[in-house]
Amino acid sequence: MKNGMAPRSNARHATGVARDPSAEVGQLTADLSRLMNSHDAARLVLGLLYLSRTAHVDSRFSVAPTWPWLLGQTTKEEVPIRRAVSQLLAHWLPTIDAEGNETGIGDTVPSLPPNIDGPLRRLIQAIDAVRLVGDLLDQCLRNLSAAQARGSHYFTPHDIARLMVGVAAPQDGHRVLDPVCGSAGLLVESHRYVRERVGLNPTMSLVGKEQHAHTSQVAHMNLAVRGIEALVFAPGDSLAEPEADPCDIVLANLPFNQPAWAPENRKDRHSLEGRWERPSIDPRWPDEPPPKGSANSAWILHIAHALAPQGRAAFLMADIAAKSPQPATRKLRERLVRDDIVECVIALPPRVFGHTEATACLWVLNKDKSPRPGWGSADRRGQVLFINARRAFEPVPGSRARRLGDKHTESILTTLATWRGIAENRASSTSYGDEPGWSRSCSTEEIARRKHDLMPTSYAVEPAGPERDTRSRIDQLKLELVEKLDQVHALESRLLDALEEI
C-alpha cells in the first residue's frame, strides 16, 4: 500500500493494558535468534514487515495468500504457522529473474525450524499492531547488518549515510545512483533529504545496483515498506560495464580493499565476416584498464565517468587509496587532481563501521566547483578541502562500538557548506578559514608537489606537541599494520588462484 498503512488490530495484553508493539517485536526477534541463526531471524522479521504492508491483494491470482489470511491463521492452534509463513513469503517476497523482472519464486525464503510456532504467532500479531514502521524497520536492518558483518556485507550506519548524502546534496529531479546499494539505505536517505527540503514527495530518480541476490531482495523490501519508488536492477557486477546514463549524484559504500576485479578481456576477436576486430575502448579507462588487483582504482574511475557535467559523488574508500605510493594508485590520484574533480576528502574515525578496524575516508567528487546560483558563492576551482575527523566520534552506549554521531556529522557538513559558500542554515555567515587539526583548504599545485597525497591527516595537522607526536606515531603504526594485512590478503588470493591452475 502506498501510504505504508494496513488495518491494525487493537493489540493489548489480557489485562487490558496497552503494550508497545515495536518493543515486543524487538523482544520476539531476540527470542527467535535463540531458535534459529540471527541472520535468518533478522531476514524473517524484515520479510514479515514487508508482508504486513504489501501482501493484501494480488490481481494475478483469484486465490492467493494474504497478510489478513496469515493473521487469521495465528488464532488457529492446530495450524503449523511456520508453513503458512513460508507459503506467504514464497508468494510475495521480491526476487529478480535474469531480465530484471520481479517474480513470485521465493528462492530466498529463510528456513524455519519446527519449534518456532509459538513466538512466530506472537511476532505476526505484534507486527500487525505496529503503526509507524520506520524505526522498527531501521532496527531490523541494523540487526541484519550486525548478523552478516563478518562477511563484510554490512549496511551503511545511519550517521554515515546522513553525512554522505549531506555532502553530495541531491536536489529534486536529480538522478541518484548507488552502484553497490546494499539495503538501499543511501537511496532512502536521499529521498528523505530532498523531501525535507521540498515538502513534497520528491520527483527524483533513484537507481540501485547490487551484486548479491539476498541483499537485492532486502533493498526491494526496504524501499517498498517505506513507499519509495526506485529502480533496483537485477543482481550483477556494476563494474562490468559503464553506466548508460549520466548521474547527478553517485553514492557508494564501496567494498574496502576488494582484492581483485575482472577487467574486460581486451584481446582481439574474430567477426562473423572473418575479419579481425579490435574491441571497443571502455570510456572509463581509455588508456588501459586498472590492474586486476586494483579494484579501488576501478571503482573510482567508474564513479567519475558516471557523473553528469555538474554531477557530484560521495563514496567511502579505505585509507590506502588516498596515499598509497603504488604507481597505479598514485597515477589515478594525479589524474583526478589534474581534472580538478576532487572537492573534499574527509578522514573518518576508526571503528565507526563495526565490522572492521580499518580506517577509511569519505571522498567527495564534484565535476563543477565554480560558483553559481542555487549552489555556492565560493569559487573552489583548483582547490581541495581536507577535513581530519579522526577523533570526531562518540561511544555507543552499552557497547565498545563507536559512531560518528549527529553532532560530529553536523560539524563536518557545516565546515564543507561554509567552504562552498552555500547559504543554508548550517553554514555560518562568516567566510571559511582553516582550523588546525580539523580542516585545511589546499591548492591543487600544493597537492601535486606532495606527490598527489590525498590523505587529510597530511594536511589538516594538529599543532605540534608531545601528545600529538605520540598519537601520530600510534596512528602510523596502525596504518602500516592494516596495509600489511591487506597485502597478506591479496597475496593469499593470488596464491589460491595459482593453486587452482596447477
298 confidence band (pLDDT: 50, 70, 90): very high
Query: Which residues on neighbouring strands pair with residue 403, listed in sequence order?
Result: 394
CA angle, corner 217, sides to 214 and 221, nearest 5? Answer: 140
Tell me which of 136 and 272 has the higher pLDDT.
Answer: 136
Please state, in angstroms and rounded to a whole number, the distance separating the CA atoms of residues 500 and 226: 46
Q: Give pLDDT, residue 34.
A: 87
Q: Give pLDDT, residue 475.
A: 64
pLDDT digits (tens, 9 = 90+) for 397-411: 877 778 999 999 999
pLDDT digits (tens, 9 = 90+) for 202-250: 999 999 999 888 888 889 999 999 999 999 998 989 999 999 999 999 9
Length of the chain (residues): 502
CB atoms within 10 A of CB 146: 17
Q: Is the pLDDT of residue 435 over 90?
A: yes
Average confidence (pLDDT) over 462-474 = 66
Please state, in angstroms and rounded to a whole number, the distance separating the CA atoms of residues 380 and 383: 5
Q: Give pLDDT, residue 286.
A: 85
Please state, in angstroms and rounded to a whole number, the distance separating the CA atoms of residues 85 and 81: 6
Distances (CA, A) of 17 to 14, 339, 365: 8, 65, 54
Please state, in angstroms and rounded to a whole number, the distance separating the CA atoms of residues 143 and 306: 33
The alpha carbon of residue 464 and the mean position of all alpha carbons in its chain are separated, in whole angstroms, by 37
Cite the DSSP H helix spans in 169-226.
185-198, 213-226
Across the chain, what does the average pLDDT equal?
83
The alpha carbon of residue 154 and the mean position of all alpha carbons in its chain are separated, in whole angstroms, by 9
351 confidence band (pLDDT: 50, 70, 90): confident
Neighbouring residues of 14: CB distance < 8 A, sequence distance ≥ 6: none
Q: Give pLDDT, residue 175.
A: 98
pLDDT digits (tens, 9 = 90+) for 71-111: 999 998 888 899 999 889 888 888 655 444 444 434 456 77
Q: Is the pLDDT of residue 259 over 90?
A: no
Q: Is the pLDDT of residue 60 over 70?
A: no
CATH level 3 topology of 152-462? Rossmann fold (3.40.50)
Q: Give pLDDT, residue 61.
A: 59
**What residue spans define the domains of the chain?**
21-144, 152-462, 464-502
What's the whole-model pTM score?
A: 0.83
The alpha carbon of residue 306 and the mean position of all alpha carbons in its chain are separated, in whole angstroms, by 17
Q: Which of 52-61, 286-295, 385-394 has the lowest mean pLDDT?
A: 52-61
Burial of 371 (C-beta count, 10 Å sphere; 0-12/13-18/19+) = middle
248 in Cβ contact with 310 (< 8 Å): yes
How large a percentage of the chain has pLDDT more than 90?
A: 47
